[in-house]
Chain A
């Protein structure tokens, strides 16, 4: 436990000075606040920008942050030093993971509030996102773990992140994309968010998100076995 807390605290200090990761956390909450308060178009659905940016946030921020942090630690050899001081790989992942999860939830809170979510609705909004962030983090961890350095990680992160982050938005414009996009957790997150207070969660949503979660776990396990943590 002390190791998890130590890693968590290290991550707070480090990320405050890491502009490229910091911007991942801030960009969508800021965009959402600006758009929600400045743009009002007749007939626009409720929470339009908040929902759109929330889905993108889920697909992008946790994935990029996790992959960037792990691959940097591998490249700079800091992760190895941690493991050699008897920090367990699980402790490291939980410490960094908790940090990213909490930051993303704070960001999502800002997105939700800017979109007018309140009370129970806000809670549903955050619950859905909380699960989505977890899947994204696992995918990011798999990429970070399998990469030797930041360059290698980025070249994998960008296409993966673009697919998951932009599928929900593209789906609103194109029906055939929407059909395929359904199998992605980020699209499911988007569907669930847009159904808050209207449709509720179905078995299909749960199965697809769990399936994505399991695939991410397997991918991470494979990356860990193949490359190790450090």
Chain B
């Protein structure tokens, strides 16, 4: 009934509820819950083998979940409608590029499929700084260039949701910073970005929200800052004085006088609170280090 059509304000572009996934008899995802809002950069962090790729594959309809519900743009990911495919872009760890075709021809194929104008090909190639390599066959590209080409393909149709599976793993810092810029640009355009990484620094710099995944369970969720603060047991102020002394004070009203004193005497070189990094939070939660 058209008249009774509900006006759905999409609160979340991605939703997973109690998602379980088994491979053979092994439970790889053990009841995953997560939500991603429109236009946010969401980072799924976890060591390799945690189940990050499995989650992306379920969300993009490449795998079914054994139990639970998984939705993208309000659609069950087990039976995605064509319009959803048109609204998403993705870059999996296995990039899926045509080795013998040039960068340009790889993108041209998808420009035709997505029915975007030819001009868009050069535009995205420029965005990932591959304009000069446009005629090179993919087989001649470095790993970083391949990753950038796959990213260019993923954003070609201006997706509403962009899935990036470890977009920066194994790349040189220059390529990484370019990818970060492009991710930010896509967010400004209005896309939601779902990325996985095991790089803590990347996650804290880039993401609005992150979830820590360990052995198929989400063990922590929040903004990078929130998470770090939550684990801020020490909660101290570190003051470095101009005379070279380091002073550590409790971060609270009882330290106010002493801090004020240093400030009035213009003795302070730096002052900051001690917060754990995501890395230490993760180690505390799981008892292991990221590989």
CB pair B110 A85 closer than 8 Å: yes
* Interface SS of A by simple majority: helix
CB pair B96 A17 closer than 8 Å: no
Closest to B139 in A: A17
CB pair B85 A86 closer than 8 Å: yes
Chain A residues within an 8 Å CB radius of B153: 81
Interface residues on A, range: 20 to 34
CB pair A80 B85 closer than 8 Å: no
Expressed in whole angstroms, the Cα–Cα distance for A2 and B116 within the complex equals 12
Q: Which of B96, B97, B113 lies in contact with A3, CB distance below 8 A?
A: B113
If A14-B100, A78-B96 touch, whether A6 touches B109 (CB-CB below 8 Å) is yes
CB pair B82 A86 closer than 8 Å: yes
Chain B residues within an 8 Å CB radius of A9: 109, 112
CB pair B62 A80 closer than 8 Å: yes
If A14-B100, A17-B100, A76-B99 touch, whether A84 touches B109 (CB-CB below 8 Å) is no
Q: Which of B86, B96, B112, B115 lies in contact with A81, CB distance below 8 A?
A: B96
CB pair B101 A87 closer than 8 Å: no
Q: Is B262 in the interface zone, CB < 8 Å from A?
A: no
CB pair A84 B95 closer than 8 Å: no
Q: How far is the CB of B182 from chain A (nearest CB, A)?
A: 19
Chain A residues within an 8 Å CB radius of B86: 86
CB pair B113 A13 closer than 8 Å: no
Interface readout for A58-98 with B: 1 if CB under 8 Å, 0 if not?
A: 00000000000000000011101110111100000000000
Q: How far is the CB of B175 from chain A (nearest CB, A)?
A: 21
CB pair A6 B113 closer than 8 Å: yes
Chain B residues within an 8 Å CB radius of A10: 98, 101, 105, 109
CB pair B114 A85 closer than 8 Å: yes
CB pair A14 B98 closer than 8 Å: yes
Chain B residues within an 8 Å CB radius of A81: 92, 96, 153
From residue 95 to 130 of chain B, which have CB atoms closer than 8 A to chain A?
A: 95-101, 105, 109-110, 112-115
A-B contact pairs, 14 of them (CB 8 A): A3-B112, A10-B98, A13-B105, A14-B101, A17-B101, A17-B137, A77-B95, A80-B62, A80-B96, A81-B153, A84-B88, A84-B90, A85-B85, A85-B110
If A6-B113, A86-B86 are given as contacts, then 9 extra A-B residue pairs at C-beta distance below 8 Å, sorted by A number, are A2-B113, A7-B109, A10-B101, A17-B100, A80-B96, A81-B96, A84-B60, A85-B157, A86-B82
